[in-house]
Amino acid sequence: MAANPFKSMLKQLKQAVVYAETPADVYEQLKQPIRLVQFAIPVIMDSGKTKVFTAYRVQYNNTLGPFKGGIRFHPETNLDEVKALAAWMTFKSAVIGIPFGGGKGGVTVNPKRLSENELEQLSRGYVKSLVKLLGSHVDVPAPDVYTNAKIMAWMMDEYSKLVGKHTPASFTGKPLTAGGLAGRDIATAHGGLVATKLIVKKLKLNPKKCKIAVQGFGNVGYNVAKLLYNAGFNIINLSDSSGGITSLKNASMDPENVMLTKMEQGMIGGCYCVGTVCDCVNFIKVPNKKLLEMPVDILIPAALENVITGRNARRIKAKVIIEMANGPITPEADRILWAKKKYIVPDILANSAGVAGSYLEWWQNVHKQKLTQATVLKRLDKMITAAFNNVWRTAKKNKTDLRTAAYVVALKKITKAMQK
């Protein structure tokens, strides 16, 4: 049975409070969300029948600022997953040092089976049910798995209509034309690139000799693969939900070419590509599970939780794992990998440039400003480098893995704010 991501989060937290010397009252408050909502969204399907979808919003903690976190549309999304993701957002915002708390949302749905009309109703329905709990200084959602800029534009528009005021800062990850941030589409991946370069330097590895496997080829996986390829790393394996591919003779793949081939198959529901990386005939196909075990130097899970567990951790060959997905490694796998001296750059650090980018978008909307992509990337570089160095120092000082160190950094900031 798959590990419960919320229980995994609690185990990670428990391990870190010892090093962070977190007071018992603070620890107790961080063991559960401030508020969680489960609701039903009716959608009139194109067939004329009404279908009802189960949806969630978890507002985990807002000690450091408004609740902040994406909305996921996925057939397996459930409350415990959303609770875990909301908790990780809380710690992530603290690690990267932005004035936000943590929240997350989800709808249990396979959005690839919806038409554009059905998808729009679902997105607007989500906001209608939650309007009283949202707002630019209350709870600010963003895209996550299988949601994107178009969906955020519908949601922001719905929220603005309901409150009777144009409120671009109520959602982030919007298109540029709707107040979006230049560079938001690559913000998370850009942070992943910076974090990868930093750890490669610490471990004295040569980027040009580093072989990389990336699991997941969506917003994060595709962009991080592309940025790493452009920075001279070798992309040897790629995958998406349909399967994986591996290059011949360890020659680096160009992710942009892979994406072009994938896109040739067209779109469904106005948002989802029908194609897969497996459409690329120049490469050898590998099952998704095997992709994680390929002989590479750096492994980048960029899809979903629980992909590296007690079952396959011993077969992971990569020396470094950059967690671009949230929660891809279970605590049991963490222990095995730590014993095998693997370096894991944890999700709450590795993908934190996503929420940092969201913060910059929110800031420019609140202050009616427009930041350039060059400014955005420069600020993200600075933030992720400072956060990485802080976590690295904390790990060395306490002799812990980087995940525990990242929690320690976050816990200290949250504790200080709670006790002021």
Catalytic residues: 104
CB of 317 to ligand NAD, least distance (A): 18
| Beta carbon nearer to ligand NAD, 127 or 245 | 245
Give burial (CB, 10 Å; 0-12/13-18/19+) of 129: middle
| Beta carbon nearer to ligand NAD, 241 or 309 | 241
| Beta carbon nearer to ligand NAD, 144 or 158 | 144
Distances 208 to 68, 248, 346 between C-alpha atoms, Å? 37, 17, 23
CB of 24 to ligand NAD, least distance (A): 31
| Beta carbon nearer to ligand NAD, 215 or 415 | 215
Closest to 56 in 3D by CA, of 116, 136, 139: 139
Residues at the interface with ligand NAD (CB under 6 A)? 143-146, 188, 215-221, 239-241, 288, 302-304, 324-326, 351, 354
CB of 187 to ligand NAD, least distance (A): 7
| Beta carbon nearer to ligand NAD, 101 or 221 | 221
CB of 110 to ligand NAD, least distance (A): 12
| Beta carbon nearer to ligand NAD, 127 or 304 | 304
- Residue 355 makes CB contacts below 8 A (sequence gap 6+) with 68, 69, 89, 92, 93, 96, 98, 100, 142
CB of 390 to ligand NAD, least distance (A): 19
CB of 126 to ligand NAD, least distance (A): 17
Residue with tokens 């949302």: 105
| Beta carbon nearer to ligand NAD, 294 or 304 | 304
CB of 165 to ligand NAD, least distance (A): 27
Q: Which residue is nearest to ligand NAD (CB)?
A: 218
